[in-house]
Amino acid sequence: MRCTSEVYAVLLAAGLGTRMGQNKLALRFQGKTPLRLCYEAFLRSQCPPKGIVIAVSEQTRSEALALAAEDARVWVAQGGATRGASVCNALRALQTRGIKEGVVAIHDAARCLVPPAVIDAAVRGAQQNGCGVAAIPVRDTVRTQAGELFPREERLLMQTPQAFEFKRILSAYEAAEAGGLNETDDCAVYMAAGYAPHFTEGSIMNQKLTSPEDLPFFHAACAAQRLQRIGFGEDTHALVPGRRLVLGGVEIPYEKGLLGHSDADVLVHAVIDALLGAAALGDIGTHFPDAEERYRGISSLVLLRETAALLRENGFLLGNVDATIVAQKPKLVPYIATMRSNLAQCLGVDASEVSVKATTSEGMNDEGAGKCMTARAVCTLIKNG
């Protein structure tokens, strides 16, 4: 996406949130407030804002000031008596900073699960059409209290961000001020000034934190979105006569085996390195140095079990593992199921979370010449709290 104009953001954090029964913007999801989650989503968008104005109430002022102290692009504006008055104050704060042009994306801080792609679509809409309003189609059948049916095909649910050419939305808000600024979204103010709306793709994830019933959804969504980590591991061992061949804890009858200080289980070593890598906890060599006598000939499954315990101590849960062994011979297919169940048992997960595959290198490289075996693994970890 090309950023054809400068982008600014307005985050609205001045609402009272009466339906939550407490200050909803002080809640934390995976340790982060709604305001910080929104701020981070905007920074991850394709055209990160040059300036972010946070419209605050007395309750949210100190957090906004802390963000502003951290990042010079964050400015704080006093919120108003209505949502519209808060937007108006924030737009004037941008104007006071000398901003005359570009695009401004106005966003409710209570929509703190906003995917960066939704921000991108709204900003692109404003760059191309003067306005980009995040909206989603209606999924449910809609009736009035009296039972009258609305054709849902013609309806859209408005979300935020709603992005506009700065000049247009500022003049639209100034024109609307006399009417009391009671509109519940910016699109209404923009349309009242005679402009046509342009809707962009919102997301069902982009819900507005409103009532206590929303909390399980917000906690689960944050846990799923924010804290998955990926890891990669690779290992190679020489294939020599006079050694046992152990892969994934399975002893495989073959004329040669892998050379190493432990049982040289190349598959398990790659998996251990992927796990430690995902947690950024170093590598197999730092945790189980091959100079140490106690690791001589040890089953690598023991090391895998210790690695799993270390991850748990550091608050990580295993998502899944996928590994490939590169070996010319012997045929490994008959042993794959046992390898998977050995790994799964050590990791304390179901075998369906552990994938092991084998391939030859078609006779090429040292693996193809039967000089060595290589294993590669990726895994995901989930940070638990």
Q: Which residues sit at the interface with Mg ion, rule CB under 5 A? A: 235, 269
Minimum CB distance to Mg ion smaller for 60 or for 374: 374
Minimum CB distance to Mg ion smaller for 200 or for 374: 374
Q: For the CB of residue 333, give the shortest distance to Mg ion in the complex, in Å.
A: 23
Q: For the CB of residue 360, give the shortest distance to Mg ion in the complex, in Å.
A: 20
Minimum CB distance to Mg ion smaller for 108 or for 235: 235
Give the relative orientation of helices 266-278 and 300-313 as an angle to the nearest 10 degrees.
Answer: 10
Minimum CB distance to Mg ion smaller for 186 or for 235: 235
**Single-letter amino acid code for the residue at 52:** I
Q: For the CB of residue 259, give the shortest distance to Mg ion in the complex, in Å.
A: 10
Q: For the CB of residue 212, give the shortest distance to Mg ion in the complex, in Å.
A: 51
> Residue 306 has which token pair?
């210790």
Q: For the CB of residue 307, give the shortest distance to Mg ion in the complex, in Å.
A: 13
Contacts 24+ apart (CB under 8 A), 344-351: 346/249, 346/301, 346/304, 346/305, 346/308, 347/304, 347/308, 347/318, 347/321, 348/308, 348/318, 349/318
Q: For the CB of residue 300, give the shortest distance to Mg ion in the complex, in Å.
A: 8
Determine the residue with CB nearest Mg ion.
269
Q: For the CB of residue 321, give the shortest distance to Mg ion in the complex, in Å.
A: 17
Which residues are 326's β-sheet partners? Answer: 359, 374
Minimum CB distance to Mg ion smaller for 269 or for 376: 269
Minimum CB distance to Mg ion smaller for 131 or for 270: 270
Minimum CB distance to Mg ion smaller for 269 or for 340: 269
> Residue 320 has which token pair?
């899944």
Minimum CB distance to Mg ion smaller for 185 or for 235: 235
Q: How distant, in Å, are the alpha carbons of 11, 106, 164 from that of 87?
A: 9, 8, 13
Q: For the CB of residue 237, give the shortest distance to Mg ion in the complex, in Å.
A: 6
